[in-house]
């Protein structure tokens, strides 16, 4: 549990611009570093929100930069892929009991406070898992979602003795393959789309427009839900 009385500054890490935008908008944060770092307040606490970009290395580096700002608590906020449709639905916000770094097997325990209830395991790594058999095996071990940054940020925070939490919302199901290697390759590190590449891809695959439309809708639903949960937590401090 987090001792709310000791938290005066909260750092929010968002891997992608679409995940950062609703936090900035809803808290009316001020840009202090060219769209990559913002600052403001949520009730009694100061908030610093930072773009990490995607991947484990980027997540760790951003966490180190955030700790240099002397924050008392770090929140990782964004979207995640669901492992099974039987355990999570699109737009669900997950606050896992355990976060797992797939490459090492190291586990991390988030800090919780207010009325948030921890549930399930979140598995993190740079690899894009699409094999449903693998996902089913993960689900059998208690994993309900996957992402590419949380465990890296958690390792930095735990090694430094700084409490951290995670708010991830389900934007898609990994096993459906809607976000496959080709689509992932057309996404910039900050989560924005490579417009030229996607335009060409849609010309060659016009049937994929429905997939992109669905992903855009569900991702927006998820980013709004994750940001709302994180903001409520900030105001509770």
d(CA 1, CA 235): 16
4-236: what fold?
A: Rossmann fold (3.40.50)
What mean pLDDT, rounded, does the chain reach? 93
Is the model more confident about 5 or about 63?
A: 63
Selection from 135, 127, 150 nearest residue 86 by Cα: 135
Q: Count Cβ atoms below 10 Å from residue 118 Cβ, excluding itself.
A: 15
Q: What is the mean pLDDT of residues 49-63?
A: 97
> Band of the pLDDT at 1, cuts 50, 70, 90?
low
Closest CA to 21 of 222, 233, 235: 222
pLDDT (tens digit per residue) in 90-145: 999 999 999 999 999 999 999 876 666 788 999 999 999 989 899 999 999 999 99
pLDDT digits (tens, 9 = 90+) for 28-45: 999 998 999 999 999 999
- The mean per-residue pLDDT over the stretch 172-184 comes to 84
Longest dimension (CA), the chain: 57
pLDDT at 215: 92
Percent of the chain, pLDDT > 70?
97
Which residues on adjacent β-strands are paired with residue 164? 74
Is the pLDDT score of 52 beyond 90?
yes
Mean pLDDT value across residues 187-216: 90
| Rounded Cα distance, 10 and 49, in Å | 8
pLDDT of residue 61: 98
Do residues 78 and 226 make contact, with C-beta atoms less than 8 angstroms apart? yes
Could you write out the three-class secondary structure of the chain? CCCHHHCCEEEEEECCHHHHHHHHHHHCCEECCCCCEEEEEECCEEEEEEECCCCHHHHHHHHHHHHHCCCCEEEEEEEEEECCCCCCCCCCEECCCEEEECCCCCEECCCCCCCCCCCCEEEECCCCCCCHHHHHHHHHCCEEEEECCHHHHHHHHHHHCCCEEEEEEEEEEHHHCCCCHHHHHCECCCCCECHHHHHHHHHHCHHHHHHHHHHHHHHHHHHHHHHHHHHHHHHHC
pLDDT at 40: 98
Chain length of the chain? 237
Contacts of 218 (CB under 8 A, 6+ apart): 90, 91, 171, 172
- Going from N- to C-terminal start, the domains of the chain cover 4-236
The strand pairing partners of 121, in sequence order, are: 98, 143
Distances (CA, A) of 24 to 91, 181, 202, 237: 20, 30, 31, 18
> Mean pLDDT across the stretch 11-34?
97
Among candidates 122, 78, 82, 77, which has minimal Cα distance to 99?
A: 122
């Amino acid at each position: 549990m987090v001792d709310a009385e000791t938290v005066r500054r909260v750092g929010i890490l968002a891997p992608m611009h679409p995940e950062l935008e609703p936090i900035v908008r809803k808290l009316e944060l001020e840009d202090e570093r060219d769209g990559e770092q913002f600052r403001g307040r949520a009730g009694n606490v100061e908030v610093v929100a930072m773009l990490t970009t995607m991947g484990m290395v980027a997540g760790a580096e951003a966490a180190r930069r955030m700790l240099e700002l002397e924050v008392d608590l770090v929140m990782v906020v964004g979207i995640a892929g669901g492992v099974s449709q039987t355990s999570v639905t699109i737009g669900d916000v997950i606050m896992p009991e355990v976060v797992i770094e797939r490459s090492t097997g190291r586990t991390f325990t988030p800090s919780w406070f207010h009325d948030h209830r921890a549930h399930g395991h979140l598995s993190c790594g740079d690899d894009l898992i699409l094999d449903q058999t693998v996902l089913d095996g993960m689900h059998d071990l208690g994993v309900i979602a996957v992402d590419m940054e949380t465990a890296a940020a958690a390792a930095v925070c735990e090694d430094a003795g700084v409490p951290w939490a995670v708010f991830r919302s389900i934007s898609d199901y990994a096993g459906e393959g809607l976000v496959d290697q080709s689509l992932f390759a057309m996404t910039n590190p900050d989560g924005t789309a490579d417009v030229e590449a996607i335009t060409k891809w849609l010309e060659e695959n016009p049937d994929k427009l429905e997939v992109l439309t669905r992903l855009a809708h569900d991702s927006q639903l998820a980013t709004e839900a994750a940001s709302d949960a994180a903001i409520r937590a900030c105001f509770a401090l």
